[in-house]
Amino acid sequence: MSIVERLRADRNLPDEELKTLLESDRFDEELFKAADEVRRSVYGTEVFLRGLIEFTNYCKNDCLYCGIRRSNTADRYRLSKERILDCCKTGYKLGYRTFVLQGGEDPFYTDDVLCEIVSSIRHFYPGCAITLSIGERSEESYRRLFESGANRFLLRHETADEEHYAILHPGEMSLANRKQCLFNLKKTGYQVGSGFMVGSPYQTMHNIISDLRFLQELSPDMIGIGPFLPAAGTPFENFPQGSVKLTLRLISVLRLMFPHALIPSTTALGTLHPQGRELGLKAGANVVMPNLSPVEYRGKYSIYDNKICTGEESAQCKDCLRMRIESAGYEISDSVGDVRRVY
């Protein structure tokens, strides 16, 4: 059996063979084909859309790679509950059945404030999924938000290597806490997403293998990866961007290791390559996250430079995405898009 066939059959490979697969272009054709077959066997040609609402760019953290880190100069904004509900209304009309609230870690949004926002969305959209992507909080906070109606949570571990984590983050943050948050979220009952950046500064192939091993331990429902892109004003502004090829190979490897996973073809991939998101879908991704934030704020949620889709209205984004998804050979699903753990 070829190395790709073995990864597909066992959903696993020894470290050395994973490295071989990721480092060479010899297996690309076979790898992408196998990943697409597995994706089709679990999810058919369906692509799930998640309406992304970037509701605040205030952040108390100082992650060295991130354009909205607290020590970077940025034009800060936060959205009111009414404004967030307007975004949901627009999204619902466009057919989106999942709303993702993403933001910096903004102390303005206390549990009381956020629970009020989440319960309002839950009230108006009982059949929709509410996903939070708001960083590290206490177990109690995750529980209260879950009880208010949130049911999915995205929290990338960013890197599963202690030393590498310490290079990317300020001293007061720790990998141990990040992991603890992920296990707390699972325990609380959320569908949980994790993931990492590809090509972040000082990342080695050894680090990437650790990321895959950590994901095996966590067994998340969603796995988001995207290339690192430099952000102006950060300590890493002059570092090279991540590689499209390696990101695509990793999407395929993830699909073969986690056949059930919801894997987005990320905006970062679309920023790095004009057809990045189509290529991601063909490599095994099955989720796209169109931006639903009000256009006047989109440019301000600048976690990295040159982010795409900051100028168009949400309706235009939807038309553009439909075209891209169909051109890649898939179709937009109108379902809420829960994970299918068929294995």
What's the min distance (Å) between Cβ of 34 and ligand SAH?
A: 27
Least Å distance, CB 215 to ligand SAH, is: 14
* Cα–Cα dist 41/39, whole Å: 5
Pick the closer one to ligand SAH by CB: 231 or 325: 231
Closest CA to 131 of 322, 338, 341: 338
Beta carbon nearer to ligand SAH, 185 or 303: 303
**Can you tell me the distance from the alpha carbon of 227 to that of 265, in angstroms, rounded to the nearest whole number?**
11
Answer for the pair 130, 154: CB distance below 8 angstroms, yes or no. Answer: no
The distance of closest approach from Cβ of residue 32 to ligand SAH in the complex, given in angstroms and rounded to an integer, is: 23
Cβ 23 to ligand SAH shortest distance, Å: 22
Give whichever of 226 and 294 is closer to ligand SAH, judged by the CB atom: 226
Provide the binding-site residues for ligand SAH, judged by CB under 6 A.
65-66, 102, 104-105, 133-135, 155-156, 158, 197, 226, 228-229, 231, 268, 303-304
Contact yes or no for 88/124 (Cβ under 8 A): yes
Asked if 25 contacts 43 with a C-beta cutoff of 8 angstroms, the reply is no
C-beta of 20 vs 174, nearer to ligand SAH: 174
Residue 99: CB minimum distance to ligand SAH, A = 15
Nearer to ligand SAH, 8 or 157 (CB): 157
Nearer to ligand SAH, 21 or 168 (CB): 168
The residue among 103 and 259 lying less far from ligand SAH, judged by its C-beta, is 103
b (16+ CB within 10 A) / e for 28-67:
bebbbebbbebbeebbebbbbbbbbbbbbbbbebbbbbbb
Distances (CA, A) of 7 to 11, 18, 166, 343: 5, 9, 31, 15
- What distance in Å separates the CA atoms of residue 206 and residue 208, rounded to the nearest whole number? 5
* Minimum separation from the CB atom of position 228 to ligand SAH (A): 5
The 3-state secondary structure of 129-187 reads EEEEECCCCCHHHHHHHHHHCCCEEECCCECCCHHHHHHHCCCCCCHHHHHHHHHHHHH
Helix, strand, or coil (residue 293): coil
- Name the minimum Å distance from CB 112 to ligand SAH: 20
